[in-house]
């Protein structure tokens, strides 16, 4: 066919085909590589925003104290003063955003307190821990210990699952 | 199920039998190609009867190679990302390009150049709709003059020359994908690419040898013993190197006895005993080596040699599969805490189960059958024979 | 058009638009979207964590808090963070007995006796957010990466689920989320720390065994901590540039 090319014509056709393939690949690349890829490194820049997009479950102590300012007062000077509220009360961002609609549930002391204070050989020796059954005789821990300051006896009339906030 | 302590996220294995299949298949490709190149580049005349068959075998397996990976991926529809945004630091990403290079710039091109004369002839003479396929394959050029064929021959030679390091790269890379993972002491060794490569060569040569013997029998033709004897000899040499490398790795580990040694040693003695010691080492390496050595040292009759080669070949293929199994699965059976072990629960009819694995191992032979029909490796012989009768 | 009317229309349009925008912005705050912290600049921060093994009591608060905050699947075994208990027989740091029942989610039932000559302690584990992360290195497509502020994140919209990164992590902190078929792992509560909150695990820790640290902030207590404690990282021989600094890490810890 192309004798002018000295019988290499078929090789040129192959080369042409491959060049077309390579060109198609670059076109594909332009279309399909997501926007922002490579802006900060070898990844999609939007992935950073994606990672920041997530609802918050734990509000943080500052949010709780806004309404429940009596608690830090009660805990002051006691061994629990530095513990953050949701460590025991669970995630409460929903409650913080809408206290009337999303009520917090008071944890059961018998379950909650044992989580940290049940005697366990692997716990640091100086950490306060007891054989729970022996120590409590089956009573709830808050019978003798105020939850927020366990060195104190419990308040006279502990609120029974009602609104504890001041707002 | 779990013995000792494994990190909570390590309980289930990440890479299944499909990931065992993948290096096995690419290994067969590399090995088959290297056998083919023995004739083309190193002018080992005696293996010429297997040249085209080896190339077609390599192509059939190479086409199937990505399939176990696709089945394994959590999002196969995103697999194009490896080509669009490859992470150059990742061996896996770069392998995509090595694969593409090997398929398009080496294998397909070499097959096309070697078959071009037949393709042009078939494009002009074939009957039925298949003729259109051949016409497409000619790329519009019907020049099969002596000069053009010389060009083809020269080009094919260059491609094979480039193809040998490409085949080494193809499978050595798979070895590097494992060997570069510092977190896993069973995998992490500089020997891994080389061990993978030589076991690939061994499995590829054995496959072509077995296929040649089987297909020739099916065609009712006499098996060219000079050819098979040569192939078996190369198999023997490659196997000695492969075995030496694996023993070197083993001895090194036992001697140095680093922090991972006791956990790996325990694993090989217990959970991996059957696949590693019994299947891979004894049945899959020592027995074939002894059989092949026998054929080199003792003068056996043709029939006995054929039987010995066939047995050795089959055992070799089983042994090399076991080697891939022991690397991939073995590397995940022990915890990175070096304090415990988990189990591989292979399922049957799930996406990554035994059934798809079996299907994927059968598929290359189906493709090979189609390729052999499309591009017969022995068309010259049959035409000549037809003329003779 | 009359200039006053045009002006009125423009102002009311703006007001309507802004009210609408404010509504959307407020909802985005509730949803936890980036607009809520527009002043956060990634280059101002370099995040890490300090873990004081001597303070950990194995209560499992961190494991539970993380699962709540990050919606981590309960099945199969998937943990962004977990706690291990070590029981080291006397003089045998090479063969400790380690357990982590359900990652420490329900705490640790007692199984050892006091006075058996061994020492026991708890070790919380999480993604170490390595500065030279092997998981980032092996990802074929760039679906996992280290953010400019030092947090190793996963792009769930881009991940193929090839699991190479799971193999490459020396610490076993990555897993496949069966719901998305992509990889998942501790994100250092990126959605929280970029708003000035601390991570869920640190928030819930009753003994301050885990404390988030910002190495680029000169006032952050992490600097004092690193100066005054003998700290180690896990598997230092892997040279991963781990940013989880442990105080009191025994030689038996894996």
- Tell me whether the omega of the peptide bond preceding residue B190 falls within 30 degrees of 0, making it cis: no
Q: Does A94 touch chain C (CB under 8 A)?
A: no
Q: Are A142 and A110 in contact (CB under 8 A)?
A: no
> Searching chain A, which residue's CA lies closest to the CA of residue B145?
A7
Contact residues for A48 (Cβ-Cβ < 8 A; gap 6+): A40, C42, C147, C153
Rounded Cα distance, A86 and C65, in Å = 9
Q: Does B8 touch chain C (CB under 8 A)?
A: yes
Cα–Cα distances in Å, from B366 out to A111, B126, B372? 64, 22, 10
Nearest to B86 among C97, C140, C168 (CB): C140
Rounded Cα distance, B45 and A69, in Å = 93
- Chain A 42-71, residues with CB within 8 Å of chain B CB atoms: 42
Q: Residue B40: its pLDDT value, please?
A: 84
Contact C33 A97 (CB under 8 A): no
Q: Residue B98: its pLDDT value, please?
A: 95
**Does residue C108 fall inside a structural domain?**
yes
Chain B contact set for C173 (CB, 8 A): 7, 9
Contact B85 A11 (CB under 8 A): no
> Searching chain B, which residue's CA lies closest to the CA of residue A13?
B139
Q: Give residue-wise pLDDT tens across range A32-85.
A: 999 899 999 999 999 999 999 999 999 999 999 999 999 999 999 999 999 999
Q: Does C98 touch chain B (CB under 8 A)?
A: yes
Strands C47-52 and C119-126: unpaired
Q: Are residues C7 and C124 in the same domain?
A: no
Contact A115 C107 (CB under 8 A): yes
**Does residue B230 fall inside a structural domain?**
yes
Q: Structurally, how many domains does chain B consist of?
A: 1
Nearest to B139 among A7, A8, A10 (CB): A10
All residue ranges of chain C with pLDDT < 70 are 1-4, 6-37
Q: Quick one: CA dihedral B308, B314, B318, B323, positive or negative?
A: positive
The pair of structure tokens assigned to C65 is 């808090």
Q: Does A7 touch chain B (CB under 8 A)?
A: yes
Contact A37 B85 (CB under 8 A): yes
Contact B7 C172 (CB under 8 A): yes
Q: Are residues C56 and C118 in the same domain?
A: yes
Q: Are B317 and B206 in contact (CB under 8 A)?
A: yes
- Chain A 99-128, residues with CB within 8 Å of chain C CB atoms: 115-116, 118-124, 127
Burial of C92 (0-12, 13-18, 19+ CB in 10 A): exposed
Q: Are residues C126 and C199 in the same domain?
A: yes
Q: Are residues C115 and C209 in the same domain?
A: yes
For tokens 């690939």, the residue is B200
**Does residue C101 fall inside a structural domain?**
yes
Q: Residue B378: its pLDDT value, please?
A: 85
Q: What is the pTM of this model?
A: 0.90
Q: Does B74 touch chain C (CB under 8 A)?
A: yes
Q: Quick one: CA dihedral B321, B324, B327, B330, positive or negative?
A: negative
Q: Are residues C29 and C80 in the same domain?
A: no
> Searching chain B, which residue's CA lies closest to the CA of residue A27?
B84
Q: Are residues C191 and C122 in the same domain?
A: yes
Q: Are residues C102 and C18 in the same domain?
A: no
Residue C214 DSSP one-character state: E
Q: Residue C76: its pLDDT value, please?
A: 79
Range of the domain at B117: 3-382
Rounded Cα distance, B36 and B40, in Å = 7
Size of the A and C interface in Cβ pairs below 8 Å: 134
The distance of C237 to chain B (nearest Cα, Å) reads 10
Q: Are C244 and C185 in contact (CB under 8 A)?
A: no
Residue B256, Ramachandran bin (φ over 0: left; ψ between -120 and 50: alpha; else beta): alpha
Q: Are B316 and B337 in contact (CB under 8 A)?
A: no
Residue C182 DSSP one-character state: E
In 3D space, the residue among C94, C92, C81 whose CA is nearest the CA of residue C116 turns out to be C92
Q: Are residues C63 and C110 in the same domain?
A: yes
Residue B189, Ramachandran bin (φ over 0: left; ψ between -120 and 50: alpha; else beta): beta
Nearest to B9 among C158, C160, C173 (CB): C173
Range of the domain at C15: 3-36
Best of B151, B156, B157 to disrupt the A interface by mutation (most A CBs within 10 Å)? Answer: B151
- Chain B 66-105, residues with CB within 8 Å of chain A CB atoms: 80, 83-85, 87, 89, 104-105
Other Cβ atoms closer than 10 A to A37: 21
Give how far the C-alpha of residue B355 lies from the chain's centroid of Cα atoms, to the nearest Å.
Answer: 20
Chain C contact set for B69 (CB, 8 A): 162
Q: Structurally, how many domains does chain C consist of?
A: 2
Which ipTM value was assigned to this complex? 0.92
- Chain C 123-152, residues with CB within 8 Å of chain B CB atoms: 125, 134, 137-143
Nearest to B84 among A14, A17, A29 (CB): A29
Q: Does C162 touch chain B (CB under 8 A)?
A: yes
Q: Are residues C17 and C121 in the same domain?
A: no
Q: Give residue-wise pLDDT tens across range B64-79.
A: 999 999 999 999 999 9
Crossing angle of the two packed helices B130-137 and B109-125, in degrees rounded to 10: 130
**Does residue B388 fall inside a structural domain?**
no
Q: Are residues C51 and C115 in the same domain?
A: yes
In 3D space, the residue among C72, C128, C130 whose CA is nearest the CA of residue C103 turns out to be C72
All residue ranges of chain B with pLDDT < 70 are 379-389
Q: Does B389 touch chain A (CB under 8 A)?
A: no
In 3D space, the residue among B212, B361, B228 whose CA is nearest the CA of residue B306 turns out to be B228
Q: Are residues C108 and C223 in the same domain?
A: yes
Q: Are residues C215 and C124 in the same domain?
A: yes
C197: domain CATH number is 3.30.70.20
């Amino acid at each position: 066919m192309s004798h002018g090319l000295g019988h290499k014509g078929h090789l040129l056709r192959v080369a042409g085909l491959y060049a077309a393939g390579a060109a198609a690949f670059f076109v594909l690349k332009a279309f399909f590589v997501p926007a922002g890829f490579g802006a900060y490194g070898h990844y999609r820049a939007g992935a950073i925003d994606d990672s920041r997009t997530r609802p918050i479950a734990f509000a943080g102590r500052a949010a709780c104290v806004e309404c429940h300012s009596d608690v830090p007062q009660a805990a002051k000077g006691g061994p629990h003063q530095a513990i953050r509220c949701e460590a025991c009360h669970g995630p409460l961002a929903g409650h913080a955003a809408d206290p009337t609609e999303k009520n917090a549930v008071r944890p059961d002391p018998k379950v909650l307190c044992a989580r940290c204070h049940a005697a366990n050989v692997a716990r640091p020796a100086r950490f306060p821990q007891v054989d729970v059954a022996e120590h409590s005789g089956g009573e709830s821990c808050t019978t003798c210990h105020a939850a927020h300051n366990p060195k104190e006896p419990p308040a006279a009339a502990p609120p029974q699952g009602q609104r504890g906030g001041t707002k | 199920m779990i013995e000792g302590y494994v990190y909570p996220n390590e309980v289930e294995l990440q890479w299944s039998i499909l990931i065992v299949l993948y290096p096995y298949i690419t290994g067969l490709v590399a090995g088959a190609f290297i056998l083919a190149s023995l004739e083309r580049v190193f002018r080992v005349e005696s293996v010429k009867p297997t040249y085209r068959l080896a190339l077609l075998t390599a192509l059939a397996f190479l086409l199937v190679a990505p399939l176990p990976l696709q089945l394994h991926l959590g999002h196969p529809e995103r697999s194009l990302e490896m080509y669009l945004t490859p992470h150059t630091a990742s061996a896996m990403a770069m392998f995509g390009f090595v694969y593409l290079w090997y398929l398009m710039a080496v294998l397909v091109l070499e097959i096309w150049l070697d078959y071009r004369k037949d393709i042009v002839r078939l494009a002009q003479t074939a009957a039925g709709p298949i003729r259109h396929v051949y016409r497409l394959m000619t790329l519009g050029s019907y020049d099969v003059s002596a000069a053009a064929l010389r060009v083809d021959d020269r080009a094919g030679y260059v491609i094979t020359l480039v193809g040998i390091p490409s085949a080494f790269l193809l499978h050595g890379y798979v070895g590097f994908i494992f060997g570069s993972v510092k977190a896993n002491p069973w995998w992490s060794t500089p020997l891994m690419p080389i061990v993978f490569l030589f076991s690939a060569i061994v499995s590829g040569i054995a496959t072509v040898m077995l296929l040649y013997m089987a297909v020739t029998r099916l065609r009712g033709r006499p098996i060219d013993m000079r050819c098979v004897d040569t192939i078996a000899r190369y198999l023997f040499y490659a196997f000695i190197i492969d075995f030496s490398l694996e023993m070197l790795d083993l001895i090194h580990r036992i001697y140095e006895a680093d922090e991972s040694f006791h956990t790996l040693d325990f694993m090989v003695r217990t959970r991996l005993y059957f696949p590693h010691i019994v299947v891979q080492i004894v049945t899959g390496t020592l027995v074939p080596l002894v059989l092949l050595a026998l054929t080199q040292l003792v003068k056996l009759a043709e029939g006995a040699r054929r039987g010995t080669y066939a047995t050795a070949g089959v055992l070799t293929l089983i042994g090399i599969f076991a080697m891939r199994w022991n690397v991939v699965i073995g590397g995940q059976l022990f915890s990175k805490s070096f304090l415990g072990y988990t189990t591989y629960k292979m399922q049957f009819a799930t996406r990554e189960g035994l059934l798809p694995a079996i299907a994927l191992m059968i598929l290359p032979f189906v493709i090979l059958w189609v390729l052999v029909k499309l591009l017969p490796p022995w068309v010259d012989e049959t035409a000549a024979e037809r003329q003779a009768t | 058009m009359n200039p006053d009317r045009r002006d009125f229309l423009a102002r009311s349009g703006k007001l309507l638009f802004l009210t609408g925008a404010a509504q959307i912005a407020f909802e985005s705050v509730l949803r936890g979207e980036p607009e809520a912290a527009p002043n956060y600049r990634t280059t101002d921060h370099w995040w890490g964590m300090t873990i004081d093994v001597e303070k950990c009591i194995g209560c499992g608060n961190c494991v539970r808090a993380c699962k709540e905050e990050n919606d981590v699947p309960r099945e199969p075994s998937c943990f962004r963070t977990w706690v291990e208990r070590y029981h080291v027989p006397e003089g045998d740091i090479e063969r400790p007995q380690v357990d982590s029942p359900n990652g420490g989610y329900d705490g640790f039932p007692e199984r050892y006796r006091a006075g058996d000559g061994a020492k026991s302690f708890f070790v919380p584990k999480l993604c170490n957010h390595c500065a030279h992360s092997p998981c980032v290195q092996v990802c074929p497509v760039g679906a996992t990466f280290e953010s400019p502020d030092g947090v190793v994140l996963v792009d769930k919209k881009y991940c193929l689920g090839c699991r190479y990164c799971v193999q490459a992590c020396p610490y076993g902190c990555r897993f496949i989320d069966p719901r998305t078929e992509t990889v998942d792992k501790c994100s250092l509560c990126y959605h929280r720390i970029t708003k000035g909150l601390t991570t869920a695990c640190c928030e819930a820790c009753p003994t301050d065994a885990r404390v988030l640290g910002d190495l680029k902030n000169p006032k952050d207590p992490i600097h004092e901590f690193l100066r005054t404690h003998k700290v180690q990282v896990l598997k230092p021989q892997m040279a991963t540039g781990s940013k989880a600094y442990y105080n009191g890490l025994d030689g038996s810890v894996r």
